[in-house]
Structure 1
Amino acid sequence: MVSQDKVRNKLLALLPDHAFAALAEALEYVELPRAHVFSSPDLPAEHAYFIESGIGSIVAITPQGQRSEVGIFGPEGMSPASIVLDTASTPYSVFMQIPGYGYRIATDALHRAIAQSDALRHLLSRYAYALSVQTSYTGLSNSVHHIDERLARWILMCHDRTPGDQIALTHEFLSVMLAVRRSSVTTALHVLEGKHLVYSERNLITVRDRPALELFAGDAYGVPEREYVRLIGAMR
């Protein structure tokens, strides 16, 4: 059985003892390689996942196949959050972008645990709301901010969910995150590198100056993060 004092997932760690006990027997440790699928568009999810390390990606896809990332989650959250809202499926593709590991629980088992524990339902509902704020502000940022600021925002969000300063982000992933061409990602990275905010090499970005990166991102970053802290607590 999973021991609560050993978990790194923020939501699992915050649960009262009795609420965690309602989940523990049904939690299963899993490795989460890159591209591991959590849920597919319009199909019911069989499991919910609580990530211990790595980053998951929530991507909207047009009928023509164009993709844009609308949200990310890591050890601060769970997926798919639609399960918490008693919704069987969503139009999103949700998958692992930066590999890691975590715990999964069958959807039916999570529903039973939520029905038995007000504390669990309350915490997961707050997380689902915090994630909705993040996706809303992604849409806002895509509309009003320059690509350089949007890139800074996404790097900060990934940095929030990464233990160190190095983040394994490919240019292809960044182009999906920002819904732009890879050449535009390269240009934006050069801007951030020129300001000594990050260092970029093949498939790896290193954050060099976090405070200056936040200053550069301006109001593109911060509101969803403050909501998460207000509702749940510090991300790390």
Structure 2
Amino acid sequence: MTDRVPPVLEALDSSGDVALKGVCGEQPMLHRRDSLRPNKRPLVKNAILARISLEGLGAIGECLEPIVLKERMILQESKRNVEHVYFIESGLVSLRVVAAGSMLETAVIGYRGVVGASFLWGGHLSTHQSVVLFPGSAHRIRVEELRRLIKQRPEIREHLLEYVQALTFQCVQTGLCGVRHNREQRLASWLCLASDAVDAGVLPVTHDYLSSVLGLRRAGVTQTLSRFEEQGLIRKMRGVLQINEHKCLEQRACCCYKLISGAYASSRSAIPANERLG
């Protein structure tokens, strides 16, 4: 990972027809070449951007700013004004509720989603603290620009609302999961959801972190992960967990995993890994 996003984003297909391009000192724009063929899609990784029409993507592309997501970077603080909306390209962001010195993670966001979409409900304040868990990249847009665009192009608002509905379900279901399901089920569910969110089987996450966000004793987390490793489901390395048997891990997870996955699958914003562009 470099310390900056390249000025020309890797969003071209093999023919090089369409690319999100940022020029130094200018806002990134959607550039087209004369050879653009009808119905050609840019290779954007974010699932929501990938669903927007070429015309809509051209409009929003003029306002997108590519940024690097560094580990522990705070994108938004709870109860603070939402200034930007982040379309995640890679990496993982943790949504948290923080109160009285305690923290509860309510969702994780990867390439399928956005951070900061709560403005759609008409509010100006963030409902969560949003912190980068796994480094990656994103495109961000100022809220006032996105407000203008969704008035001009309802399809953008529609895609965002579909995603926010799934995200809201995940937040609510996660809260219920914390009081209804056991340690093994919750750990398996989190690992599966995080793996899906980044479309990868290697997760740079520690036992301490899992203990903190799930509200579990660290010794219990270590014991459960060791059992998963003995069963061949995962492999533990220093600061990293590798998922070897995703399907088997799903069977250890509580019903929340399938319910949350189903909520995203029912949204047109969710693109199966084998159909993703990029």
| TM-score interval for Structure 1 and Structure 2 normalised by the shorter chain | over 0.9
Question: d(CA) in 2 for partners of 1:187 and 1:66?
Answer: 24
Give the TM-score, by structure 1 length: 0.94
Residue 61 of structure 2 is matched in structure 1 by 24
Question: d(CA) in 2 for partners of 1:56 and 1:157?
Answer: 12
Residue 225 of structure 1 is matched in structure 2 by 261
Q: Once the two structures are superposed, what CA deviation does each residue of 1:132-174 show, in whole Å capped at 9, x if it has no partner?
A: 0111110121111111110000000111022432111122221
SS in 2 for 1:214: helix
Residue 124 of structure 1 is matched in structure 2 by 160
Q: Once the two structures are superposed, what CA deviation does each residue of 1:153-204 show, in whole Å capped at 9, x if it has no partner?
A: 0000111022432111122221232112322221221121122211112110
Distance 1:177 1:12, change over 3 A: same
Question: d(CA) in 2 for partners of 1:151 and 1:185?
Answer: 8
SS in 2 for 1:141: helix
The count of corresponding residues between Structure 1 and Structure 2 is: 235
Task: State yes or no: 1:206 paired with 2:242.
Answer: yes
Q: Which has the higher helix share?
A: 1
2:188 to 135, 138, 152: 152
2:232 to 196, 199, 218: 196
Question: d(CA) in 2 for partners of 1:137 and 1:94?
Answer: 18
Q: Once the 2 structures are TM-superposed, how far is the Cα of residue 81 of structure 1 from its aligned partner?
A: 2.1
Question: d(CA) in 2 for partners of 1:176 and 1:111?
Answer: 35
Question: d(CA) in 1 for partners of 2:253 and 2:179?
Answer: 15
2:72 to 7, 25, 35: 35
Work out whether residues 49 and 104 of structure 1, in 8 Å CA contact, stay in contact via their aligned partners in 2. yes
Residue 45 of structure 2 is matched in structure 1 by 8
Q: Once the 2 structures are TM-superposed, how far is the Cα of residue 235 of structure 1 from its aligned partner?
A: 4.6
Report the residue type matching 1:123 in the other structure. H
SS in 1 for 2:200: coil
Task: State yes or no: 1:46 paired with 2:80.
Answer: no
Bigger mean CA deviation after superposition, 177-186 or 203-212: 177-186
Name segments (4+ residues, structure 1) moved above 4 Å. Answer: none
Matches within 5 A, 1:24-103: 24-63=61-100, 65-103=101-139
Q: Once the 2 structures are TM-superposed, how far is the Cα of residue 90 of structure 1 from its aligned partner?
A: 2.9
Question: d(CA) in 2 for partners of 1:58 and 1:218?
Answer: 20
Residue 11 of structure 2 is matched in structure 1 by none
SS in 1 for 2:121: coil
Distance 1:80 1:40, change over 3 A: same
Report the residue type matching 1:201 in the other structure. M
Q: Once the 2 structures are TM-superposed, how far is the Cα of residue 85 of structure 1 from its aligned partner?
A: 2.3
Aligned CA RMSD, in angstroms, stands at 1.5
Which runs of 5 or more residues in structure 2 are unaligned? Answer: 1-28, 32-40, 274-278
Question: d(CA) in 2 for partners of 1:32 and 1:2?
Answer: 21
Matches within 5 A, 1:160-199: 160-199=196-235
Question: d(CA) in 2 for partners of 1:122 and 1:46?
Answer: 21
Report the residue type matching 1:192 in the other structure. F
Distance 1:19 1:86, change over 3 A: farther
Q: Once the two structures are superposed, what CA deviation does each residue of 1:48-95 show, in whole Å capped at 9, x if it has no partner?
A: 1011100000011122x1111011111000011202323211342111
Question: d(CA) in 1 for partners of 2:151 and 2:59?
Answer: 10
Which runs of 5 or more residues in structure 1 are unaligned? Answer: none
Residue 173 of structure 2 is matched in structure 1 by 137
Question: d(CA) in 1 for partners of 2:187 and 2:97?
Answer: 18
